[in-house]
Amino acid sequence: MKNQKEDRRVKYTKMVLKESLIDLLSKKDIAAVTIKQICEKADINRATFYSHYADQYDLLRKIEDEFLENVKVYIAIFKQKKADAVLVEVLEKIFEYIKDNAKLCKHLLSQQGNLEFQKRIMMLIYDTNIVIKPGESLKKGEEEYMYSFIITGCVGVIHKWLEEGMKQSSRTMAAMIFNSVKRLPVTFE
């Protein structure tokens, strides 16, 4: 029983530290955020912070890793079923997840966000079995440009959706991205 209480306390501590950092990032850049500010906002002492994280950058990396792991779960569902209708549903769930984590996503996908994280998102999408085949409209060797176009376009659409207050439904956004990508020389395998 004692072990479960400790586990719950650790989960709670990590959760409030993450929420505190995310809240601070909505107001300032990571370089301007101090451990003291995070701890004060979370009502946690510095020793407790350091028992879980090396610094604010380590905490942010852990938040980014958790975000990517959660998106990977949705992508794994798509890889199992590989149907267009499933892809729209998976995209919708990803948009719902983004909406639920809007404050974090606004930071991560902004110009102030970590470019390395944005590259990791691009690689995650790149590895989802989207196959671009050269044909009449796409010459051999141009596939990498098309991947870049699709990925940065999707990230840009998500960023705009977040900035405009997520007025469109997750389903509408998922269908918009799906229909846009489906017009390109792309197959999903």
Instruction: Provide the CATH number for the domain around residue 164.
Output: 1.10.357.10
Q: What is the pTM of this model?
A: 0.78
SS3 state of residue 111? coil
> Does 25 share its domain with 99?
no
> Does 107 share its domain with 170?
yes
> Does 103 share its domain with 18?
no
Average predicted confidence (pLDDT) for the chain: 82
> Does 1 share its domain with 85?
no
DSSP tag of 53: -
> Does 46 share its domain with 132?
no
Lowest-pLDDT range of 31-35, 110-114, 132-136: 132-136
> Does 115 share its domain with 155?
yes
Q: Residues 6 or more apart from 15 whose CB is under 8 A from it?
A: none
| Count of domains forming the chain | 2
> Does 181 share its domain with 145?
yes
Tell me how far apart the alpha carbons of residues 180 and 46 are, in angstroms, rounded to a whole number. 48
Digit-coded pLDDT (tens) for 15-30: 999 999 999 998 888 9
Residue 1 has pLDDT above 50, yes or no: no
Digit-coded pLDDT (tens) for 61-95: 999 999 989 888 877 776 666 555 667 888 888 89
Full domain range(s) for residue 113: 61-188
